[in-house]
Structure 1
Amino acid sequence: MIGIIQYGAGNIFSLTAALDRLGIEYGMISQESDFGQYDRYIIPGVGHAGAAMQKLEKTGLVPVIRKITKPVLGICVGMQLITAFSEEGNADLLNIIPIKTLKFKEENGLKIPHTGWNQVSLKEGDDLFKNIKNQAYFYFVHSYFIEHDNLYTLASTQYGVRFSASIKKDNFYGVQFHPEKSGLAGEQLLKNFAHLNA
Protein backbone atom coordinates (compact mmCIF):
# COMPACT_ATOMS: atom_id res chain seq x y z
CA MET A 1 0.00 0.00 0.00
CA ILE A 2 1.17 3.53 -0.81
CA GLY A 3 1.78 6.10 1.91
CA ILE A 4 1.43 9.73 0.76
CA ILE A 5 3.74 11.99 2.76
CA GLN A 6 1.77 15.02 3.93
CA TYR A 7 3.69 18.18 4.65
CA GLY A 8 1.36 20.95 3.48
CA ALA A 9 2.85 21.52 0.02
CA GLY A 10 -0.02 21.58 -2.40
CA ASN A 11 -3.34 20.05 -3.24
CA ILE A 12 -3.18 16.26 -3.54
CA PHE A 13 -6.80 15.77 -4.57
CA SER A 14 -6.01 14.99 -8.22
CA LEU A 15 -3.46 12.37 -7.10
CA THR A 16 -5.80 10.65 -4.64
CA ALA A 17 -8.64 10.78 -7.20
CA ALA A 18 -6.40 9.00 -9.74
CA LEU A 19 -5.40 6.34 -7.20
CA ASP A 20 -9.07 5.82 -6.28
CA ARG A 21 -9.97 5.49 -9.96
CA LEU A 22 -7.24 2.85 -10.43
CA GLY A 23 -8.18 0.93 -7.29
CA ILE A 24 -4.74 1.53 -5.74
CA GLU A 25 -4.84 1.56 -1.96
CA TYR A 26 -3.17 4.43 -0.13
CA GLY A 27 -3.08 6.27 3.17
CA MET A 28 -1.58 9.46 4.60
CA ILE A 29 1.70 9.88 6.47
CA SER A 30 2.05 12.81 8.86
CA GLN A 31 4.37 11.39 11.52
CA GLU A 32 7.25 8.93 11.79
CA SER A 33 5.13 6.14 13.28
CA ASP A 34 2.95 6.09 10.13
CA PHE A 35 5.74 4.84 7.83
CA GLY A 36 5.61 1.22 8.95
CA GLN A 37 2.07 0.75 7.61
CA TYR A 38 3.17 1.09 3.95
CA ASP A 39 5.46 -0.66 1.48
CA ARG A 40 6.04 2.35 -0.82
CA TYR A 41 5.72 6.11 -0.60
CA ILE A 42 4.82 9.18 -2.67
CA ILE A 43 6.19 12.66 -2.00
CA PRO A 44 3.74 15.04 -3.74
CA GLY A 45 4.14 18.78 -4.13
CA VAL A 46 3.32 21.85 -6.14
CA GLY A 47 4.62 25.40 -5.93
CA HIS A 48 7.94 26.60 -4.54
CA ALA A 49 10.69 24.03 -3.84
CA GLY A 50 12.43 26.15 -1.19
CA ALA A 51 9.19 26.74 0.72
CA ALA A 52 8.24 23.07 0.35
CA MET A 53 11.58 22.02 1.85
CA GLN A 54 11.00 24.33 4.83
CA LYS A 55 7.58 22.77 5.39
CA LEU A 56 9.05 19.27 5.11
CA GLU A 57 11.77 20.10 7.64
CA LYS A 58 9.14 21.36 10.12
CA THR A 59 7.45 17.94 10.08
CA GLY A 60 10.61 16.29 11.43
CA LEU A 61 10.32 13.59 8.75
CA VAL A 62 13.46 14.47 6.77
CA PRO A 63 15.81 12.00 8.56
CA VAL A 64 13.23 9.23 8.12
CA ILE A 65 12.75 9.95 4.40
CA ARG A 66 16.51 9.87 3.77
CA LYS A 67 16.71 6.36 5.28
CA ILE A 68 13.79 4.79 3.38
CA THR A 69 14.75 1.56 1.59
CA LYS A 70 11.33 0.86 0.01
CA PRO A 71 10.24 2.49 -3.30
CA VAL A 72 9.69 6.25 -3.16
CA LEU A 73 8.16 8.41 -5.93
CA GLY A 74 8.53 12.19 -5.90
CA ILE A 75 6.03 13.99 -8.14
CA CYS A 76 6.70 17.52 -9.52
CA VAL A 77 8.06 19.54 -6.56
CA GLY A 78 8.30 16.21 -4.73
CA MET A 79 10.80 15.14 -7.39
CA GLN A 80 12.74 18.39 -7.03
CA LEU A 81 12.95 17.84 -3.26
CA ILE A 82 14.99 14.66 -3.68
CA THR A 83 17.69 16.58 -5.61
CA ALA A 84 20.55 18.40 -3.89
CA PHE A 85 19.75 22.07 -4.52
CA SER A 86 17.18 24.35 -6.15
CA GLU A 87 17.69 27.78 -7.65
CA GLU A 88 14.13 28.43 -6.47
CA GLY A 89 14.89 30.11 -3.16
CA ASN A 90 18.56 29.02 -3.42
CA ALA A 91 17.57 26.11 -1.20
CA ASP A 92 19.43 23.02 -0.09
CA LEU A 93 17.12 20.04 -0.51
CA LEU A 94 17.14 16.36 0.55
CA ASN A 95 20.27 15.58 -1.53
CA ILE A 96 19.20 12.00 -2.13
CA ILE A 97 20.09 12.35 -5.82
CA PRO A 98 23.13 14.67 -6.23
CA ILE A 99 21.89 16.85 -9.11
CA LYS A 100 20.38 20.36 -9.23
CA THR A 101 17.01 21.95 -9.92
CA LEU A 102 17.51 24.98 -12.20
CA LYS A 103 15.35 27.81 -13.57
CA PHE A 104 14.26 27.88 -17.21
CA LYS A 105 15.63 30.94 -19.03
CA GLU A 106 13.09 33.12 -20.77
CA GLU A 107 14.75 33.30 -24.16
CA ASN A 108 13.97 32.50 -27.79
CA GLY A 109 10.26 32.96 -27.11
CA LEU A 110 10.18 30.23 -24.45
CA LYS A 111 7.11 30.61 -22.26
CA ILE A 112 7.59 30.06 -18.54
CA PRO A 113 6.17 28.05 -16.85
CA HIS A 114 6.44 25.05 -19.16
CA THR A 115 2.77 24.08 -19.20
CA GLY A 116 0.97 21.35 -21.10
CA TRP A 117 1.69 18.09 -22.88
CA ASN A 118 5.20 17.16 -23.96
CA GLN A 119 6.92 14.03 -25.21
CA VAL A 120 9.12 11.99 -22.91
CA SER A 121 12.13 10.03 -24.20
CA LEU A 122 12.65 6.90 -22.14
CA LYS A 123 15.80 5.09 -21.11
CA GLU A 124 14.97 1.43 -21.68
CA GLY A 125 14.65 -1.19 -19.04
CA ASP A 126 13.16 0.37 -15.92
CA ASP A 127 9.93 -1.06 -14.54
CA LEU A 128 8.55 2.39 -13.66
CA PHE A 129 7.91 2.88 -17.40
CA LYS A 130 6.88 -0.70 -18.17
CA ASN A 131 4.23 -0.88 -20.93
CA ILE A 132 4.67 2.83 -21.71
CA LYS A 133 5.86 3.62 -25.22
CA ASN A 134 8.88 5.80 -25.89
CA GLN A 135 7.93 9.39 -26.79
CA ALA A 136 4.63 9.10 -24.88
CA TYR A 137 3.07 12.43 -23.88
CA PHE A 138 2.82 13.53 -20.24
CA TYR A 139 1.42 16.69 -18.66
CA PHE A 140 3.85 19.27 -17.21
CA VAL A 141 3.49 22.47 -15.17
CA HIS A 142 6.81 23.86 -13.91
CA SER A 143 9.16 26.85 -14.06
CA TYR A 144 12.21 24.96 -12.77
CA PHE A 145 13.76 21.82 -14.22
CA ILE A 146 16.14 19.10 -13.06
CA GLU A 147 19.37 18.96 -15.00
CA HIS A 148 19.95 16.02 -17.31
CA ASP A 149 22.49 13.54 -15.97
CA ASN A 150 23.24 10.21 -17.67
CA LEU A 151 23.76 8.53 -14.31
CA TYR A 152 20.38 9.43 -12.82
CA THR A 153 18.07 10.43 -15.69
CA LEU A 154 15.43 7.76 -16.43
CA ALA A 155 13.57 9.85 -19.00
CA SER A 156 14.13 13.24 -20.62
CA THR A 157 12.13 16.01 -22.26
CA GLN A 158 13.08 18.94 -24.46
CA TYR A 159 11.87 22.46 -23.66
CA GLY A 160 14.52 24.98 -24.64
CA VAL A 161 16.99 22.62 -22.97
CA ARG A 162 17.03 18.87 -22.46
CA PHE A 163 16.04 18.13 -18.89
CA SER A 164 15.18 15.19 -16.64
CA ALA A 165 11.51 14.23 -16.88
CA SER A 166 12.25 11.33 -14.53
CA ILE A 167 15.18 10.43 -12.29
CA LYS A 168 16.20 7.42 -10.23
CA LYS A 169 18.79 6.43 -7.64
CA ASP A 170 18.41 3.08 -5.90
CA ASN A 171 14.81 2.97 -4.55
CA PHE A 172 14.14 6.70 -5.10
CA TYR A 173 12.27 7.78 -8.23
CA GLY A 174 11.07 11.17 -9.39
CA VAL A 175 8.83 12.44 -12.19
CA GLN A 176 8.60 16.12 -13.13
CA PHE A 177 5.28 15.67 -14.93
CA HIS A 178 1.96 14.94 -13.23
CA PRO A 179 1.08 11.27 -13.87
CA GLU A 180 -2.35 11.81 -12.33
CA LYS A 181 -3.12 14.34 -15.10
CA SER A 182 -1.40 12.45 -17.93
CA GLY A 183 -4.11 10.13 -19.23
CA LEU A 184 -3.43 6.46 -19.89
CA ALA A 185 0.37 6.79 -19.81
CA GLY A 186 0.22 8.47 -16.41
CA GLU A 187 -2.19 5.86 -15.08
CA GLN A 188 0.14 3.09 -16.28
CA LEU A 189 3.05 4.72 -14.46
CA LEU A 190 1.09 4.90 -11.19
CA LYS A 191 0.12 1.23 -11.59
CA ASN A 192 3.76 0.35 -12.28
CA PHE A 193 4.89 2.17 -9.14
CA ALA A 194 2.24 0.38 -7.08
CA HIS A 195 3.69 -2.96 -8.22
CA LEU A 196 7.45 -2.27 -8.09
CA ASN A 197 9.39 -4.80 -6.07
CA ALA A 198 9.60 -3.40 -2.56
Structure 2
Amino acid sequence: MEIAVVDYKGGNVQSVLFALERLGAVPTLTCDPEVLNKADKVLFPGEGEAASAMAALREAGLDQVLPSLRQPFLGICLGMQLLGQHSEENDTTLLGLLPFHVRRFVPDAQHKVPHMGWNNLQALQSPLFAGLTEQDHVYFVHSYYAPVGEYTIAQAAHPAPFSAAVQHANFYGVQFHTEKSGAVGTRILSNFLEL
Protein backbone atom coordinates (compact mmCIF):
# COMPACT_ATOMS: atom_id res chain seq x y z
CA MET A 1 0.00 0.00 0.00
CA GLU A 2 1.34 3.42 -0.95
CA ILE A 3 0.80 6.04 1.74
CA ALA A 4 1.56 9.70 1.07
CA VAL A 5 1.93 12.35 3.77
CA VAL A 6 1.44 15.87 2.45
CA ASP A 7 4.59 17.98 2.78
CA TYR A 8 3.76 21.68 2.84
CA LYS A 9 6.57 22.56 5.28
CA GLY A 10 4.12 22.51 8.20
CA GLY A 11 4.86 21.24 11.66
CA ASN A 12 4.14 17.85 13.24
CA VAL A 13 4.98 15.79 10.16
CA GLN A 14 7.73 13.67 11.70
CA SER A 15 5.60 12.31 14.54
CA VAL A 16 2.90 11.26 12.04
CA LEU A 17 5.52 9.49 9.92
CA PHE A 18 6.80 7.64 13.01
CA ALA A 19 3.24 6.65 14.02
CA LEU A 20 2.63 5.19 10.55
CA GLU A 21 5.95 3.35 10.59
CA ARG A 22 5.03 1.78 13.96
CA LEU A 23 2.01 0.31 12.13
CA GLY A 24 4.33 -1.25 9.55
CA ALA A 25 3.60 1.34 6.84
CA VAL A 26 6.28 2.95 4.67
CA PRO A 27 4.94 6.49 4.14
CA THR A 28 6.29 8.96 1.60
CA LEU A 29 6.56 12.63 2.59
CA THR A 30 5.76 14.54 -0.59
CA CYS A 31 4.30 17.59 -2.29
CA ASP A 32 4.54 15.94 -5.74
CA PRO A 33 1.05 15.85 -7.34
CA GLU A 34 1.85 12.63 -9.20
CA VAL A 35 2.85 10.82 -6.00
CA LEU A 36 -0.22 12.15 -4.18
CA ASN A 37 -2.53 11.04 -6.99
CA LYS A 38 -1.05 7.54 -7.13
CA ALA A 39 -1.10 6.94 -3.36
CA ASP A 40 -3.63 4.53 -1.87
CA LYS A 41 -4.08 6.77 1.19
CA VAL A 42 -3.14 10.40 1.86
CA LEU A 43 -2.57 11.99 5.28
CA PHE A 44 -2.46 15.73 5.82
CA PRO A 45 -1.01 16.60 9.24
CA GLY A 46 -0.94 20.20 10.35
CA GLU A 47 0.22 22.45 13.13
CA GLY A 48 0.38 26.19 13.19
CA GLU A 49 -1.70 28.97 11.70
CA ALA A 50 -4.32 28.79 8.93
CA ALA A 51 -3.23 31.73 6.73
CA SER A 52 0.42 30.62 6.61
CA ALA A 53 -0.59 27.04 5.88
CA MET A 54 -2.92 28.10 3.05
CA ALA A 55 -0.19 30.35 1.59
CA ALA A 56 2.21 27.39 1.58
CA LEU A 57 -0.40 25.16 -0.08
CA ARG A 58 -1.07 27.77 -2.77
CA GLU A 59 2.65 28.29 -3.40
CA ALA A 60 3.10 24.54 -3.94
CA GLY A 61 -0.08 24.27 -6.06
CA LEU A 62 -1.52 21.87 -3.50
CA ASP A 63 -4.67 23.98 -3.07
CA GLN A 64 -5.64 22.64 -6.53
CA VAL A 65 -4.26 19.11 -6.12
CA LEU A 66 -5.72 18.11 -2.74
CA PRO A 67 -9.40 18.74 -3.60
CA SER A 68 -9.03 16.56 -6.70
CA LEU A 69 -7.88 13.45 -4.78
CA ARG A 70 -10.25 10.46 -4.78
CA GLN A 71 -8.56 8.05 -2.36
CA PRO A 72 -9.15 8.07 1.43
CA PHE A 73 -7.69 11.32 2.79
CA LEU A 74 -7.16 12.17 6.47
CA GLY A 75 -6.56 15.72 7.71
CA ILE A 76 -5.11 15.95 11.23
CA CYS A 77 -5.57 18.99 13.53
CA LEU A 78 -4.97 22.07 11.34
CA GLY A 79 -5.12 19.64 8.41
CA MET A 80 -8.76 19.02 9.34
CA GLN A 81 -9.58 22.71 9.73
CA LEU A 82 -8.14 23.51 6.30
CA LEU A 83 -10.79 21.25 4.73
CA GLY A 84 -13.45 23.85 5.61
CA GLN A 85 -14.64 27.02 3.87
CA HIS A 86 -13.25 29.82 6.01
CA SER A 87 -11.40 30.37 9.29
CA GLU A 88 -11.71 33.21 11.76
CA GLU A 89 -7.95 32.80 12.22
CA ASN A 90 -6.64 35.78 10.24
CA ASP A 91 -9.82 35.79 8.09
CA THR A 92 -8.54 32.92 5.94
CA THR A 93 -10.19 31.26 2.94
CA LEU A 94 -9.68 27.49 3.20
CA LEU A 95 -9.80 24.56 0.74
CA GLY A 96 -13.61 24.51 0.65
CA LEU A 97 -14.07 20.72 0.76
CA LEU A 98 -16.49 20.68 3.71
CA PRO A 99 -19.19 23.26 4.51
CA PHE A 100 -17.97 24.40 7.92
CA HIS A 101 -16.53 27.74 9.04
CA VAL A 102 -13.75 27.49 11.63
CA ARG A 103 -14.39 29.55 14.76
CA ARG A 104 -12.25 30.62 17.72
CA PHE A 105 -13.03 29.24 21.16
CA VAL A 106 -14.19 31.91 23.62
CA PRO A 107 -12.45 31.37 26.97
CA ASP A 108 -14.32 31.47 30.26
CA ALA A 109 -13.40 30.97 33.91
CA GLN A 110 -13.27 27.17 33.58
CA HIS A 111 -12.30 26.68 29.92
CA LYS A 112 -9.02 28.12 28.73
CA VAL A 113 -7.85 28.66 25.18
CA PRO A 114 -6.15 26.80 23.66
CA HIS A 115 -8.12 23.64 24.39
CA MET A 116 -5.18 21.47 25.32
CA GLY A 117 -5.04 17.98 26.77
CA TRP A 118 -7.05 14.78 26.86
CA ASN A 119 -10.76 14.76 26.06
CA ASN A 120 -13.17 11.96 25.26
CA LEU A 121 -14.89 11.39 21.93
CA GLN A 122 -18.68 11.30 21.71
CA ALA A 123 -21.29 10.41 19.07
CA LEU A 124 -18.93 8.20 17.06
CA GLN A 125 -20.36 7.60 13.57
CA SER A 126 -17.70 6.14 11.31
CA PRO A 127 -15.62 3.01 10.64
CA LEU A 128 -12.71 5.32 11.50
CA PHE A 129 -13.64 4.66 15.16
CA ALA A 130 -14.17 0.89 14.95
CA GLY A 131 -13.29 -0.75 18.26
CA LEU A 132 -13.50 2.52 20.24
CA THR A 133 -16.06 3.73 22.76
CA GLU A 134 -17.16 7.10 24.12
CA GLN A 135 -14.92 6.47 27.13
CA ASP A 136 -11.82 6.63 24.95
CA HIS A 137 -9.71 9.80 25.13
CA VAL A 138 -7.58 11.57 22.53
CA TYR A 139 -5.15 14.48 22.74
CA PHE A 140 -6.16 17.97 21.55
CA VAL A 141 -4.19 21.20 21.10
CA HIS A 142 -6.22 23.90 19.32
CA SER A 143 -7.70 27.37 19.69
CA TYR A 144 -10.09 27.10 16.73
CA TYR A 145 -12.78 24.53 15.98
CA ALA A 146 -15.36 23.36 13.45
CA PRO A 147 -18.95 23.51 14.74
CA VAL A 148 -21.09 20.38 14.80
CA GLY A 149 -22.92 19.78 11.51
CA GLU A 150 -24.10 17.08 9.10
CA TYR A 151 -20.43 16.36 8.32
CA THR A 152 -19.58 15.57 11.98
CA ILE A 153 -18.60 11.93 12.66
CA ALA A 154 -17.37 12.46 16.26
CA GLN A 155 -17.77 15.20 18.85
CA ALA A 156 -15.98 16.51 21.90
CA ALA A 157 -16.85 19.44 24.16
CA HIS A 158 -15.03 22.56 25.45
CA PRO A 159 -17.52 23.41 27.01
CA ALA A 160 -20.02 23.22 24.13
CA PRO A 161 -19.86 20.38 21.59
CA PHE A 162 -17.60 20.81 18.55
CA SER A 163 -16.55 18.54 15.67
CA ALA A 164 -13.78 16.23 16.84
CA ALA A 165 -13.92 14.50 13.45
CA VAL A 166 -15.55 15.23 10.10
CA GLN A 167 -16.15 13.49 6.79
CA HIS A 168 -17.40 14.24 3.31
CA ALA A 169 -16.97 11.63 0.59
CA ASN A 170 -13.33 10.41 0.75
CA PHE A 171 -12.20 13.33 2.95
CA TYR A 172 -11.88 12.65 6.67
CA GLY A 173 -10.54 14.99 9.32
CA VAL A 174 -9.73 14.71 13.03
CA GLN A 175 -9.18 17.76 15.22
CA PHE A 176 -7.06 15.83 17.71
CA HIS A 177 -3.55 14.48 17.25
CA THR A 178 -3.77 10.78 16.42
CA GLU A 179 0.01 10.47 16.71
CA LYS A 180 -0.06 11.82 20.30
CA SER A 181 -3.14 9.88 21.44
CA GLY A 182 -1.51 6.58 22.46
CA ALA A 183 -3.29 3.32 21.69
CA VAL A 184 -6.52 5.11 20.73
CA GLY A 185 -4.74 7.25 18.13
CA THR A 186 -2.93 4.19 16.81
CA ARG A 187 -6.25 2.37 16.43
CA ILE A 188 -7.72 5.32 14.49
CA LEU A 189 -4.71 5.44 12.14
CA SER A 190 -4.94 1.67 11.66
CA ASN A 191 -8.68 1.95 10.91
CA PHE A 192 -7.93 4.69 8.38
CA LEU A 193 -5.36 2.51 6.61
CA GLU A 194 -8.01 -0.23 6.37
CA LEU A 195 -10.72 2.01 4.84
User: What TM-score, normalized to structure 1?
Assistant: 0.94
Root-mean-square deviation (Å): 1.1
> Structure 2 CA distance, aligned partners of 1:112 and 1:130?
30
> How many residue pairs end up in the alignment?
194
Deviations 1:25-63 (A, max 9, x none): 211221212224411101111011121111111101211
Q: Please, which runs of 5 or more residues in structure 2 have no aligned partner?
A: none
Q: Is the 8 A contact 1:122 1:135 kept in 2?
A: no
List 4+ stretches of structure 1 deviating above 2 A: none
Q: CA deviation at 1:85?
A: 0.6
Q: Is the 8 A contact 2:75 2:174 kept in 1?
A: yes
**Equivalence map 1:42-191=2 (5 Å):** 42-124=43-125, 126-149=126-149, 151-191=150-190
Q: CA deviation at 1:117?
A: 0.3
Which one is further off, 25-34 or 99-108? 25-34
Which one is further off, 41-50 or 106-115? 106-115
Q: Is the 8 A contact 1:146 1:164 kept in 2?
A: yes
Q: Secondary structure at the match of 1:192?
A: helix
User: What TM-score, normalized to structure 2?
Assistant: 0.95
Q: Is the 8 A contact 2:37 2:69 kept in 1?
A: no
**Does residue 1:194 correspond to 2:166, yes or no?**
no
Q: Please, which runs of 5 or more residues in structure 1 have no aligned partner?
A: none
